[in-house]
Every structure is written in structure tokens, then in C-alpha cells.
Chains A and B, each alone.
Chain A
Amino acid sequence: MTEANAVAGAAKRYDLSIIVPLYYEEDNVHLLHRAIVDAVRPLGLRSEIVFVDDGSKDRTFERCLELPRTDPDLRIVRFRRNAGQTAAMAAGIDHARGEVLITMDGDLQNDPQDIPLFLAKIAEGYDLVVGWRHDRQDHWSRVLPSRVANWLIGKVTGVPIKDNGCSLKAYRADMIKNIPLYNEMHRFIPAMASLAAPRIAQIKVRHHPRRFGQSKYGFSRIYKVFVDLVTIRSILSFSRRPATWLGILAAVGGLTALLCLAFTLSQLAADPPRVSIVFTSIAVLLGSMAIFSAFLALLSHLIYGTSAKRFHPFLLMSVRASEAAAGPARSSGP
């Protein structure tokens, strides 16, 4: 199916994969494993746990190796060096073999006891279930910026999610395995997933304060989130309507350039000429640049749209989604 499955090998299938990226979590690993096992065993599903050690330099990996590797099966992916949370999630998704994938944080702030709620929503027919930490156990200096960010992300991407930062999410594997996750897009997974027009549900989850270790975020995120947001927005609108705004820019820029040029030419014979050649030049520069940009964007869209690996999975998923239209409405919240 996808190359991701080729990585994992198609030997054994599971109903459920729990994916946990770990970064400097040597104190938490055993507790976390215990909590997941306690939550998953009673469900009676064929399940697996995928721990992704994101290049921690402490004893996280060694502590993982101490854990029992069966019932439920435990698969440990270790990175050669730190690659970031998005890459760790992507690796977990690539290596997971379940039909439903659940991602969660490695710091014990998410509660594995919430997993059955997510599975119930998936069973209802949703493709993506997003956790919402409705009473966050963090300092207000973390909660407030995150509120603003969530509101902004919802407005800009058109996928209103109350809590993009909550790692506890459930996905249908055939949907999420086709979504490209790269750079630092783990904050925007629902927005990126909207490429496949999934049915999204949100549910309230429990949230615990950190017990061990340090929180790994800082204020420096604001710039990155802002820039990434613009990026995501352009990628989304690009993939739906190629080069919309670049097309508008090209049209406006081109027209302005033409008008300025025509006016300048008409003034050449006049004495004295009432025209600024400098501003005409600037306008022509802007117009031609806009047209070049639109052309490049169209060219990339040609590559994207004609590539079976990149674009077609989304079309097929969309067809499947409308066939299942008897199910819940698209993108509806609780």
C-alpha cells in the first residue's frame, strides 16, 4: 500500500497501535508502559505499543529494553539523533501496523484510560479523534498563548480544533499514513489531515501535571507557529485550488504593470512628461515577478497533481468518505 508499510513489513496486523514519542523520559517510561498496559489489556484487542526514542542521551532506550516485549507487543524505534516530535510521530506512524493508531505524549500528562473513548468515536465512523485538555494542569503562561494559538490556527486553516497541542489523538491508519508529516507539523496534524477531508471529532480528555522531567517548550515557539501557520495555509489552499492567491497577485500585478506601462508610453510624446519612470519600473517588476511566481506554483501543482503517490490517496479517501455519508457529518465537533 504505502511505503510506510514496506518499512514495517506486513507480517502481523493489529487492531490498535499506541504510538508514544519519547525524549528524555527515563523516569516515565516504566510508569507509562504500565499505564498503557492497564488501559489496553481489558479491551481484548490485538494491540501493540510503539515507543519512538527520539535520540535521548539519557537512559530512555535502555529503560525501554527492560520492558516486557509481549502482551501487548512492544516495538521500539530508536533514532540515531534527535529529530523532533513531528519526526518521532511520523516514525511511529510509519512503523505501526494497527488499523487504528493512537498517539500520546511520553510525559504521563495524557491518561491512557481515555483510550476507550477514542476507540468508541472511531467505531462511530470518525477518521480522526482529537483530544481536548479542557482543564489543563499547566501554568497560565503556557495555557494562554496556547489558547490564542488554537483560535488563530482554527481561523487560518479552517479546521477549528480546540486543542491542537494535545498529543492524544486517534486516527484511522489508512488516512494518517497518507498524510505527509514533516518539519514541525505535529501542531497542525488536524489541519494537514484535512487534505483527506476526514470526519473529525473532539473529546475531552483528562490531563495530569508533569511528574518527572522538564517541559520541553519555550516562548520561542511563537515565531515558528506564526510562520508555519502561513505555510500550512498556503499549502492547504494550494492543494485545493492551485495558485489561487498567486494567481490573483499575478493578475493584479500584471494589470497594474500594463496600465503603468501604457500610461508611460502615452506620456513619452508629452512635454513635459507627467510620469515617474521609477514607479513604472517598480510596478512592471512587481507584475512580472507575480506572473513568474504563479507560473512556478502551477508547475509544482502539475508535479503534485500528476503524481499517484502524492495526490491520489487523498482522492480515494475522499470517495470513501462520501460513500460513508450515512455516518456522521464531516468535521463536526461534539
Chain B
Amino acid sequence: MRIGINLVSPPSVPVVTELLNKGAADFCEIVLDNFIHLPPSKVKEALPKVPISLHIVASRFLEKTSQELIDMATMVRKWIEVCEPIYISEHLQRFTTNEGKYFPLTQELDYDIHDDATKQRIIEWQELLTMPLHFENNASMTHKTHSQANFYQHLLPATGSKLLFDITNAYIADYNQVEALSAWQPLYETANHFHVAGLRFDVTKQLAFDTHDGPLDDNNWKLLTDFLPLFNKSENTLVIEWDAYVHKETWQQDLLRLRKLLGSL
């Protein structure tokens, strides 16, 4: 299994480069939103010989016009051609109302509605990109989103897309009593790409939040100990995500601990 780190924005470049050069991580997952305006050759210059995957956070591909989709795809395809990514991942979320007003917080889809429009749009976006997409499961917080795993189970084969299984997000949905982690079993057994990240708890409100702003906690390590025997295959990948308040030494310790854990299996 290859271990990855994510590159969120330019200020993280020195830390990410150093960790990759030291061999602490095997590949880099680039958050494309913050680099899409650049020629992809710039990344190859900054990270020579480093395998790359591409992660899209807020393309809003479900909400854009076909022409906007074509414009975005033209840019992303350049990155695909130059970087030859291990995978390209996306999010299934809504950012605006039907009237175009932004939600204060991004919304999950209504998982009880299995509509053809969503499927067709995913197929259209993938065809334009010329690659299947790996959709990341969301860290659900409301009971309205209790059937995410079932939704994905129908959607992925119908669209030819794949799951990027975020172990922490599934744990958060379970902790928040939205959906049991076990609901994902049929999907994570066949997944190839995984995420894990720091999280926070509000004990008073009995809620967990996906924050990506710290090291992996004991809950994460318990999950990894439980799941890695199943996920540890040579073709698979696992990214330890860290977006904000990045601390190089602590990130390195987590990467080292993960590699030891994988070595012990």
C-alpha cells in the first residue's frame, strides 16, 4: 500500500516537498482547486518523480452549465495528461440552492432520491475528464443523510465511478449516529483509495467534525489497526490529510507510525 500526503495550497509546498524527499510519503495528492490556474508542468518541476493523485474539493460540477463543465475539463485534462495521476477524486455535494444562493455550509445530497440527472451529470463529467472519478464519502452530521452508503452502492456501478473511502469520515458519521460504519462494508472491501485525517469532538453536543487540522488521534489509529489488514494491497493508497495548522514533525511521526503499522501486517 502506498502512503500519501496532501498538498492543499502554496504555503504547504516546503513541508510537503521535504516529507516526500525524505521518503516519509510515497506520493502526493494535490488539491487541484488551489493550483488549477497554473500549468501542470510547474508541479512536475516542484515535485519531480513524485507520483501524483488529483483531488477536487469544490468544482460544483453538479450545478454548472455544460459549457462551464467543458471549460473546467479542458484545464483538468491538461493536468491529467502531464501528471498521469494515480486517481482523480471528487465530492458529491451541493453548494448552492436552485436559485443560486450559496449555503453557509456545503450540503450533502438527498440520498433518498436516486435521480437520473445526478447520474447523467457524473457520466458527463467523467467523459469530459476521460477518467473515472473516485467520490469521497462525506462526514455526515444530520439524520437526513442516514443512507449515504446505500446511495453510493447504487450510484457507483450505474455511473462507472468508484469510492474513495475516507475512514475518518465514515467514523464521524457513525459517532454522530447518522450511519453505522459497517454500512460501508460492501463498498470499502473493493475500494482502492483511502483517506484518514485529524478530527475534533464537541462532547457537549455529541458531535464529531472533520477538521484536517491536527494529527491522527487514538480513534483513527484504532480504525487503522482494524482496517489495514483488509486494505493493505500493493495497488491501494492511503493519504494522511492535513490542511490547516500543518506541523511537519508531527505529520512525519504519523507517517512513520503508519509505515511501521503496515510493515507489521
Q: Does A pair with B?
A: no
